[in-house]
Amino acid sequence: MNMENFSLNSAKSFLGKNVNLHLKDGAVIINVQLTGIRKSDLGKGNLVECVPYGNHNIVRIPLRNIAWAELLNLCLMQTAG
């Protein structure tokens, strides 16, 4: 699923799901579960909270840095391994 602009509404639609996050700088953060959205401590913008697969630490990424999210099908990954 490719999105033109990743927005707050887009992020909300992926909450609780595993995705690959494609950042605007070209980097890709693979297989994270989006767990929440919160306001930045500095008051500007929103942060997307996610947990990498196999980890319990929350990572926060500024929403404005995300270009789009790719939904993962975990059933396919489990049968391939």
pLDDT band with cut points at 50, 70 and 90 for residue 3: very low
- Hey, where are the domains in the chain? 8-80
Query: How do residues 45-73 score in pLDDT, each as one tens digit?
Result: 999 999 998 888 999 999 999 999 999 98
CA 47 to the chain's CA centroid: 10
**What is the phi/psi pair of residue 11, to 5°?**
-60, -40
Query: How do residues 25-38 score in pLDDT, each as one tens digit?
Result: 999 999 999 999 99
**Confidence at residue 42, expressed as pLDDT on a 0 to 100 scale:** 79
pLDDT band with cut points at 50, 70 and 90 for residue 1: very low
**Confidence at residue 79, expressed as pLDDT on a 0 to 100 scale:** 55
Q: What is the 3-state secondary structure (H, E, C) of the chain?
A: CCCCCCCHHHHHHCCCCEEEEEECCCCEEEEEEEEEEEECCCCCCEEEEEEECCCCCCEEEEHHHEEEEEECCHHHHHHHC
Distance separating the N- and C-terminal Cα atoms of the chain: 24
Degrees to nearest 5, angle at CA 30 with 81 and 80: 15
**Per-chain mean pLDDT for the chain:** 87
CATH class of 8-80: mainly beta
